[in-house]
Amino acid sequence: MLSRLLGVEMVVDVAPGVQVWAEEIPGPGEPVLLVMGADAAGLTWPDELVDRLAERHRVIRYDHRDTGRSTHAFDEAPYAIRDLAADAVAVLDAFAIDRAHVVGMSLGGTLVQLLLVDHPDRLWSATVFCTASLQGDPDLPGPDPALLRLWGELTDERDREQELDWRVEHWRLLNGAGVEFDEAWFRELEERIMEHSGREDKPAAHAAAAQDGLERDLTENTVPTLVIEAPEDPVCPPPHAAHLASTIKGATLVRIEGMGHAIPPALATPLAEAILAHTAAVG
């Protein structure tokens, strides 16, 4: 079951007329900023993971623009993916955080790579997983065709129950076959995100956001960086993680067996342990 964490909520101005919702979960150590993937609210970071990280760190998660309780206005005020990286810095500023350990999943891993280049002075460490290198490689495998077909339905009209069913099926494919799929847990997660957001439609703005300015060179990186390999990831399958680690100077590669492109309860603890081992080594 999902627990309800008691955190401090904040609304952060990131651009004229644009605000993002953020939540701080108190903890004893240096702050950890969690940066979620495309079109995913901050509550997609499961409480099981956040609770474990909060045993050692002050943890902050937030809703990207056009997700959760943040401003939904892409059609009126379009932005680029790189602007979402600037939003992460604005969240740190709002909580008066000079430096943080930053963790990014999927698109969040892209944003963390941008932070490594543009704002290394704001990072104690970086952890990225289920993401691709900003340097790219045309020979690496692409997403599972079944996912591509499902993504073609992203903006189709659905009522609430149909939308829940679609999201659960999406998680089923993302979860992969490495660990048993907990359908009830993912359905409860999405019900909670709908309640948090006050919306039942599937966010889709990030797929339309401009992607210019994303090609970066991390061969001179100075921030301790952990790359986590998810061997069952249907979006960025192996050897994406190994390639990513090879493009970031000094990066460490750790494999979590059974992990796909999701954080089910069975993997929250090993994922937390990998992150905490990295932050402890840096500290």
User: Which of 233, 240, 243, 278 does the annotation list as catalytic?
Assistant: 233
- H helix or E strand, kind and range, residue 8: strand 8-15
The sign of the torsion formed by the CA atoms of 131, 214, 277, 273 equals negative
Q: Are 166 and 157 in contact (CB under 8 A)?
A: no
213: left (phi over 0), alpha (psi -120 to 50) or beta: left
Q: Which of 274, 275, 217, 281 is nearest to 249 (CA)?
A: 217
Please say if 106 is a catalytic residue: yes
Cβ neighbours, 10 Å, residue 13: 12
- 3-state secondary structure string across 34-49: EECCCCCCHHHCCHHH
pTM above 0.85, yes or no: yes
The encoded tokens of residue 85 equal 């990286």
User: Using CA atoms, how far apart are residues 33 and 93, in angstroms rounded to an integer?
Assistant: 12
Residue 222 exposure: Cα atoms within 13 Å on the Cβ side: 7
**What is the full per-residue pLDDT of the chain (283 aa) written as tens digits?**
233 345 799 999 999 999 999 999 999 999 999 999 999 999 999 999 999 999 999 999 999 999 999 999 999 999 999 999 999 999 999 999 999 999 999 999 999 999 999 999 999 999 999 999 999 888 999 999 999 999 999 999 999 999 999 999 999 999 999 999 999 999 999 999 999 999 999 999 999 999 999 999 999 999 999 999 999 999 999 999 999 999 999 999 999 999 999 999 999 999 999 999 999 999 7
Q: Report pLDDT for 7.
A: 79
Q: Report pLDDT for 6.
A: 57
Q: Which of 14, 9, 48 is nearest to 26 (CA)?
A: 9
User: Which of 206, 240, 261, 278 does the annotation list as catalytic?
Assistant: 261
Q: Report pLDDT for 150.
A: 97
Q: Report pLDDT for 1.
A: 27
Domains and CATH numbers, the chain: 8-143+205-282 (3.40.50.1820)
Q: Report pLDDT for 151.
A: 96
Q: Report pLDDT for 4.
A: 36
Start-to-end CA distance of the chain, whole Å, equals: 32
User: Which of 106, 125, 133, 197 does the annotation list as catalytic?
Assistant: 106
Please say if 233 is a catalytic residue: yes
3-state secondary structure of 77: coil
Q: Identify residue 45 by its one-letter amino acid code.
A: W
Please say if 101 is a catalytic residue: no
